[in-house]
Structure 1
Amino acid sequence: MATLKNLFALMILLVVTVALLLPKATFAIDGNLDCGKGINYDCGSGFFQIIILADTFTPTDECCHQLLKAGKNCHKQFVELGVSSYKKIRGTISDVYRRSNETWNNCVAAIGPVSPPEPAH
């Protein structure tokens, strides 16, 4: 249950349909099951709204911290997943990637660099 909340949070980023259909599912991205586990549901939902739906949402410092802690690669993977999975993106794919980069850069400006989690061995 918590795993999907974490996943959806990044689903920035991004797959509302999956979140609605599979509220307790886990999701692997390139073999990394945990890349988005530190992003809570509210933050992930907000990032999804910003990046995919072009809605206005100002992430809190805590949401930005969670996003930066997940890492840029994880962020990009969820954006790509959202682009490929969600059929009702607002604007063009280029708009989505622009909003994604703006969101990341705004969080970096607000929080500063954050060390990503240690990789699991």
Structure 2
Amino acid sequence: MDRNKIVMKKIEDPGAREQFYSKRKGSIVKKSNELGVLCDTDIALLMFSPTGEVTIYSSGESFEDIMINAMKQPDELNRRSTPNPDEEAHMEKLNEVKQTLSEAQEKISSYEPQVENINTVEEADAYNQYLLGAMERIQRSKAKLLANQEFLQRNENVAMASVNAEDMAAAGLAIEDSYGLDIYDDINDYAKDLLNSPLYSNPDYKPTLSPESHPEFHVEVKECLQNISDDCGVIIFNKIFDNGKYTDVDECCAQLLTLGKKCHHTIIESTIDSPEMKGVNKTAVWINSDNLWKKCSFVSH
């Protein structure tokens, strides 16, 4: 029965090409060995798989020695008796390839040692130390990459917080949580700085709730809070002396919760001129920290 002949053309499918190479590689090496033994000849075989895996075989002398002898042979095509002028360059290139191949094989053998070829404790210790050193270098590199990543993330967060704070302060609405309260260990320090900030000291930003002395600006607490932006962080609340009593800041806090505006963290409560105060200006800063309202009071004459 006639055997089917293989069509001599490139196999296009990469998987099929690698599979075919793997099947035929062993037979080629076997035939080379048989030829070297039966004919007592030097054979050097160098093959690269479709994926770049190298296969080296030599009979008798080493692969490098056989290649060097081949380079020294006269040119059989034109029978020149003079030395090849490019021989030195070829030899240098061959040595470079030899060195690169040796280094690559050494690295591969270090990362994937042939355990069955380790015959002494010293060899085992050497492989162990090499692998431990490689793992330590990888860990240091990983830690450095993580540190750089965290540093960039922190800078990005600070930049975003700064931009948001500037935008909201310019609109007279708020100081962002991440730019304000979080960087203070003491809420009293935060309150003092807040009262000295441009957001509070600029009269154009003050009247979130206006005193009764300015009826043209007077609005009900609930109506005012409904118009406050959800991303507002600071509310300036001027207490209104109305018919013998003040509008209570607790009402303001309750209305915030009722309206679902939980993002507000600060209310500035300023007691406006009243008969009882007699020129004493009392200011309180209410700070919502973890959904608990804390009060800092300041009195000035």
What interval of TM-score do these two structures reach, taking the shorter chain for normalisation? 0.3 to 0.5
Higher share in strand: 2
TM norm structure 1 = 0.36
In terms of fraction of residues, the more helix-rich structure is 1
Q: Computing the radius of gyration over CA atoms, which structure comes out larger, 1 or 2? A: 2
Higher relative CO (CA 8 A, sep ≥ 6), structure 1 or 2? 1
